[in-house]
Every structure is written in structure tokens, then in C-alpha cells.
Structure 1
Amino acid sequence: MWRPCCRRAPRTFRAAWAGAETACRSAAEGFSSHSQDFDERNLITEFETCPEHRSPGSERPRRRMAAPQETTMMTVTIQDRPPVASTSEAQLARLVDGMGSERFAPALANYLHALCGADHFAAFRLGQDELREVAACCVQPERTARDRVESYVKQGLWKHDPAMTEAQRRVDGAAATIIHVDFSDHEYDDLRPRVYPHVRDRILLCGRGTNGAFGLSVLRADPHTPFAHDGIERLAQAAELLLAMLSKHADVCQSRPDVSQALTTLDEIENCIVATSPLPRREAEVCARILYGLSSVGIALDLAVSEETVKTYRKRAYQRLVIGSERELLTWYLARWGRWSAERFQTMASRALH
């Protein structure tokens, strides 16, 4: 007898869709294992049941992926030509960019000129018995009085400067100090014509940086008027910033010492070799005189020994240092002089602060 196919449909329908449901579930599990970002909440199962053959297991699964949530992306457009910064900001940017290079001094001169009307400046690092130049420049760099700066430092004229003496006393304080120099003071009668012959007014800013004490001498030249009160106020407000910049500039320059000063005096060379090498005193003295440019005969005369003795000391020294020529001796010495010079001045600066 013929039977309507609809009576067999539920069993066939259930079997077919049961297999389809199993396949879909396996596919979903595989997708989840290959994607860390898969969210099971996005997998939504809906069932449709045949209204004519509604029976257990006859549900027809239909899976669909929910629409992903939209994300917001922020886009920033940079102008091809940004607005021009103010003069002071541009000068400050050049000052920061010039740290550790020859551009720093002219940049600082221009910044101080805009800040308080300064025409010249000279910055120093303060030690106990030593003053070291950090930078010095005029607003017009070609007019920088290098000879006066060098005489002030190398001839020890700074020791007779009342303002610098006061600065040395005040650097132990936590805050920066501004000293407004009075050139009418009789203590400047001898110093002014030698160092400040054409200077109308002078301010000395002093304080401590991260690696020592610093002094910034800011000058206003004739025929200009003395510093205005508001200019001094602006300089005081920028004091901590200026000291920090001087400290950083000195740090960078100290890491690249001026080797032109490494061979200036025989005592400097000899002290460095004795402090940084295992050489006995006599061998160190011979090496120092070789670096200073003396011949074997000249060294023999200077040390009151024979020329053969000088050669013996030199041979022993070269063996200890594992070198074989004067060129290698110079390379060895310069590598040690930079560190020795920096450590020596750092020690002096620490003693001055404490």
C-alpha cells in the first residue's frame, strides 16, 4: 500500500538535520580554536520547526554571525606648516638642541638677550680651588672677549672677584641666588679695568646643578643702560632652568673632553700617568717626558741620569703597558686622561659643596 511520504519525513528530517547540526557545531568549535577573538556570544542559534511535523528533534538549526561592533578610530592631521612659535620658544628650542655642541653658547647668548637684555655671558663650573669655563659668548659671537675670559680663569683673577667669592659661599644653599654686582665698590678698582672695561652692569647667577655648582655671569655693555628690574625678575624666574641646562651641557662636554689640554704641562701628564698606571715613579717620569716631546738626551738631562738609563726605563714601561711605540703610548695616555681629568674636577667640586 502506498503511504504518504510525509509520514516518513519526520524520521528522515531528524536524521538529516541532526547530522547537519553536528557538522555546524564542529565547524564552530574549529573556528573558535583558531581565533582568540572569537566570541561565542556572537554565535546565535535559532530553531524553526515544521508546523506540520512538530516533534522532538525536528528543530532546524540556523546559525548566523551577529554583526560586529563598530570601533572608533581617531585620526590626527598634522599641518604641513605649523604655526610659528614665539621668539622665546624658538630660542629655547635652539638652546636645547645645541647642548653639548658649539651651538650652545651663541644660542644661550641670544636667549639671555631676549630674556633680560644681556650683551655677554660667561658660565663657569665652580670647584674648591678651580674654576672651569663651561661656555662664553657675546650676542655678536665675533665680538666675544676670549682673552678676558681666559685671563679671568687661568690667571686666577676670579679669586679676587667679590661676587664670585660670595657665589662660592652661597652654592651650598638649596635655592639659586642672584648677585647684582656694584662696580662702584672699591674692591673692583683693580679688577674692572682688566676684565670689565666696557661693562655697564653685571649679574651673577649661581646655584647647584645635578653634578656640581655653576655660576652664570650676565653682562650688559656700554653704552646701554643697566639691567631693568623686570629683566632681572625674568632672569630669576628662569634660574633653575638655566642651571639645569648648564649642568647638562657640562655633562655632555665632559664626556668628550678637550684633548688639546691633555699635553699642556709636564706636571699634568706626569700626575695623570702616576694616578692611572701601575708604573713605578721613574718609569712614569720617563713616559711623561716622552709625551711632552723631549728626546732621550733631553730626558736624561732633565732627570740627571744617563741616556742608556732612560732607554731602559722606557723599555720596561712599554712592557708593563703592553705597547711598542710612542704612538701607542699617546693613545694609551689620552684614553686615561679624559676619565682622570673629569674625576679630579668632580672631586674638587664635591669638596667645595661640602
Structure 2
Amino acid sequence: MNRHDDTADAAALAHVVDRLGEDGFGAALLAWLAPALHAVHATAFRFDAGLQARVVLTASAGGGAVALQSARVYAGSGLYRHDQLLGALRQHTEAGDEAPAIVRLCRKDIDDPAYGEQLWDRFGLVERLSALSLLDGHWTAFNLYRDRAAGAFAAREVQRFAALAPLLLALLRRHLAALQPTAQAGPAGRIGPEAAAALLLRLPVRLSGREREVCALTLAGHTREGIGLALGIAPSSVATLRRRAYRKLQIHCAGELFALCLPHGRGEGA
């Protein structure tokens, strides 16, 4: 890599760091990885104790919606149960390894017809690279995809992804932590969506039903993509609803929203 490439790479990585905790983080991360890995989509999922998947990040090259749409199908349909990634997760858990597990999956290696057709053929995907690790108590997978136009990953690209995996997962962990307004609550712990909705109802400003739902899920620590998946709306609609609510409440961010609601919760012993 020459000096010009080094400078461009550093600038792109700086942009990723600048977007930590913001809606544009996924797009910035994918753009930074593009010169070296030529991935066209990126997703990240977290798995609970029952290995149920939750979407925490989606991004597609050029601002497309394929990553978001496929992630919705993946997490919402239950097809993720046929993902070979879950087998790797179980093996990784038993081994107790701290290093990220790297899982490469090609379309031709998928046996389940519904999983292959609905999640790969439907979106033109041919290969996926995944980095799997335990982040803040949650098994988390960061995934990069290639479609038919881009073709399969080359061996050197797989090696590059494996080398970058610890950094990618560290950035993702910081991003998700920055999205959690409840981190400012200290010992009070995480607030649930129902409790958040009740607190929002006590505020002196009237929000629409949809605005209140978006704000409640924001208080509960959900990402924009996760809120869109939960409510069945696009992330852009989530951003619009949140922006309207913040304007009504005369605030600018999730931290201010939490601070606004916290006195109401404490006043009633919540």
C-alpha cells in the first residue's frame, strides 16, 4: 500500500470512529473495508441465551436496502436456526476461546432449501464471512457478504478479514455501547420498553403513538435497525420519527432523552 492509500485508509477509519454510536456507523465501516475486502453488505447480530438472533447493524454499498431486508428475514422468520453459524457458536462456547471465530459460508454449502432460497438466492448472495465473539455477555456475529456481481472472496481477502476481526468487533462493541442511553443510569440498570413508554406518557409534551414507540425502544437501547425491525418500518422512518419527537421535546440525542425521563421515573420510585 502506497502513501496515498495509507492516507485514504486512515481517513476512512477516522470516519468510522467519528460515527461510533450514530446511525451512519455501519455505512462508514463498510466503506472503510471496501478497498481491501470488496464486500457489498454488512450485518451484525446478537444472540441471547436461547440463541435467538437480534439485528444490531445493517449496511449496504451505495445505501441500498438488501442488508436490512435480508436481516429482517433472517431474524424475523426463524430461518437463522438453520444457519451454520449457530453450530460454530456452540463449538466456540464449548472451547472457551477468547479469539474471534472466523466462519466462511458459501451458497453451495447450504443444505436447507428455505434458508438458501429466502436468504441467499432472493438477495443474490453467494458468500459470507463472519467474525463471532462474546461481547459484553452477548454472542455477537459481524458478517460481510458478496453477491453474484462481486463473486466469492479471494483467499487473501479471507486472511485480511481474519486479521481485522478483533478490531472490527472492538469497534462494534464500542458502537453498541454508545447506543445504550441506559449506560448513564449507573446502578439503576436497563429500562424495559414498557417502563420507558410509561415514563414517556408522563412527560408534559404529547408525542404521537409511533413517536412514543420509537423513543421507548431507544431508551431500551435498541439500534435504529432493531427498532425498524421491531415496528416493521424502515430505519429512515425510525430516524424521521425520532427527529420529530426530539424536536417536540427540545432535545438532541438519546442521552438527553434518558435524562429527561429519569426524573419522572425516580419521582415515583421507578
TM range (shorter): 0.5 to 0.7
1:248 is aligned to 174
Unaligned 5+ residue runs, structure 2? 184-191, 208-212, 224-270
Q: Shift in Å at residue 146 of structure 1?
A: 2.2
Whether 1:224 and 2:150 are equivalent positions in the alignment is yes
2:255 is aligned to none
2:103 is aligned to 179
Q: Shift in Å at residue 101 of structure 1?
A: 0.3
Whether 1:148 and 2:70 are equivalent positions in the alignment is yes
Mapping 1:16-95, distance limit 5 Å: 86-95=7-16
- Cα deviation, 1:94-134, whole Å, max 9, x if unaligned, reads 11111100120111111222231211111112222332222
Unaligned 5+ residue runs, structure 1? 1-82, 258-267, 277-287, 292-322, 343-354
1:223, 1:341 → 2: CA distance? 33
Q: Shift in Å at residue 340 of structure 1?
A: 9.2
SS of the residue corresponding to residue 196 of structure 1 reads helix
**1:328 counterpart letter in structure 2:** R
1:115 is aligned to 36
Whether 1:203 and 2:132 are equivalent positions in the alignment is no
Mapping 1:99-138, distance limit 5 Å: 99-129=20-50, 130-138=52-60
- Cα deviation, 1:281-301, whole Å, max 9, x if unaligned, reads xxxxxxx9xx7xxxxxxxxxx
Whether 1:193 and 2:117 are equivalent positions in the alignment is yes
2:258 is aligned to none
User: What TM-score comes out, normalization by structure 1 length?
Assistant: 0.49
1:186, 1:234 → 2: CA distance? 24
Rg (Cα) greater in structure? 1
Determine if contact 1:211/1:247 at 8 Å carries over to the other structure.
no
Mapping 1:289-300, distance limit 5 Å: none
Higher helix share: 2
Distance 1:151 1:111, change over 3 A: same
Determine if contact 1:124/1:133 at 8 Å carries over to the other structure.
yes
2:105, 2:111 → 1: CA distance? 11
Alignment length, in residue pairs? 200
Which structure has more RCO (C-alpha within 8 Å, separation ≥ 6)?
Answer: 2
How big is the alpha-carbon RMSD for the aligned residues of Structure 1 and Structure 2? Answer: 3.5
Determine if contact 2:38/2:150 at 8 Å carries over to the other structure.
no
SS of the residue corresponding to residue 114 of structure 2 reads coil
Determine if contact 1:134/1:246 at 8 Å carries over to the other structure.
no
1:307 is aligned to none
1:116, 1:246 → 2: CA distance? 18
- Cα deviation, 1:241-295, whole Å, max 9, x if unaligned, reads 01111111111112279xxxxxxxxxx86xx45xx9xxxxxxxxxxx9xx7xxxx
